[in-house]
Amino acid sequence: MPMIYLSPSLQSFNLYEGGGNEQEYMNRIADEMEPYLRANGIRFIRSIPGVGLGQVIQDSNSGHYGLHLALHSNAAPEDLSGQLRGADVYYYTWSAAGKRAAEIFANNYRNLYPDPSLVKTIPTRTLAEVSKTNAPAVLLEIAYHDQWKDARWIRTHTKEIAENLVKSITDYFGLPFIENIEPAKKGVIRTSETSLNLHVRPQDSACVLLEMPSHSEVTIWGRWENWYVVEYQGILGYAAVCYISEDLS
């Protein structure tokens, strides 16, 4: 199953119009993303607050991630302070995968942000968090925190932003998006004699990660139609609903 590196802003010194700061609200969005990521079978590692950007890049490059996602909010130049609105989605100029990811994020975000015409993708060779990471990377400037409408919009839409971003992640990896979030549940494999396959996608023809013996316990994170997203022995995948019963004990 896909694994991402999630990197909310480290910049607590960037104050929001009306209260709060960039680090605080990007971490709130990341907090809201976590249950959606788990329900959709997306494994993630999240950057540690308080470390420097160099350490974040080093940590990202030390793993094998399918995507590096950096969350930020923007501020206008001093002479335009409080006058600009919109969202920018950055990717490394020479990364075809980064560009594809950025376009997916921007297209979905246009369905959420109040003015879709102000959401744009921008190639860059200078932003370290997209140019120096090994994984395809996207850096999102969610909105302008020095503009009162944008700042208020961020503060009041953290859950909706989180849901929108996780949908883009599933689109990027070619997975269905599970929007109904429920608490994790315990389940038990109920096959007669054979084991139950754990697939990489919700299809019988998809690659099999491993076989789960009958009566094995699993954690159910989410459901897509007739498939559960389950975790067995630390491995996430899809398994047929009809062969798993919820453990009500």
Chunked into runs of 10 residues, the chain (249 residues) has average pLDDT values of 95 95 98 97 94 96 97 97 97 98 98 98 97 98 98 98 98 96 93 90 94 94 96 94 83
Residue 171: the pLDDT is: 98
Alpha-carbon gap, residue 245 to 231, rounded angstroms: 14
Q: Residue holding tokens 């744009």? A: 120
Alpha-carbon gap, residue 25 to 170, rounded angstroms: 23
What tokens appear for 145 in the block? Answer: 């925190």
What tokens appear for 232 in the block? Answer: 């067995």
pLDDT 10s digits, 6-43: 999 999 999 999 999 999 999 999 999 999 999 999 99
Residue 248: the pLDDT is: 63
**Domains in the chain and their CATH numbers?**
3-173 (3.40.630.40), 185-246 (2.30.30.40)
How do the residues of the chain divide into helix, strand and coil, expressed in percent and rounded to 5? 30, 30, 35
Residue 133: the pLDDT is: 98
What pTM was estimated for this model as a whole?
A: 0.94
Alpha-carbon gap, residue 223 to 22, rounded angstroms: 33
Alpha-carbon gap, residue 194 to 199, rounded angstroms: 16
What tokens appear for 192 in the block? Answer: 């007669």
Residue 182: the pLDDT is: 87
Angle at CA 68, nearest 5°, toward 66 and 72? 155
> Cβ-count burial of 92 within 10 angstroms (0-12 exposed, 13-18 middle, 19+ buried)?
buried
Alpha-carbon gap, residue 185 to 210, rounded angstroms: 21
Angle at CA 160, nearest 5°, toward 105 and 180? 100
Q: Which of 120, 15, 6 is nearest to 73 (CA)?
A: 15
pLDDT 10s digits, 90-109: 999 999 999 999 999 999 99
Residue 249: the pLDDT is: 56
What tokens appear for 49 in the block? Answer: 């607050």
Alpha-carbon gap, residue 241 to 230, rounded angstroms: 10
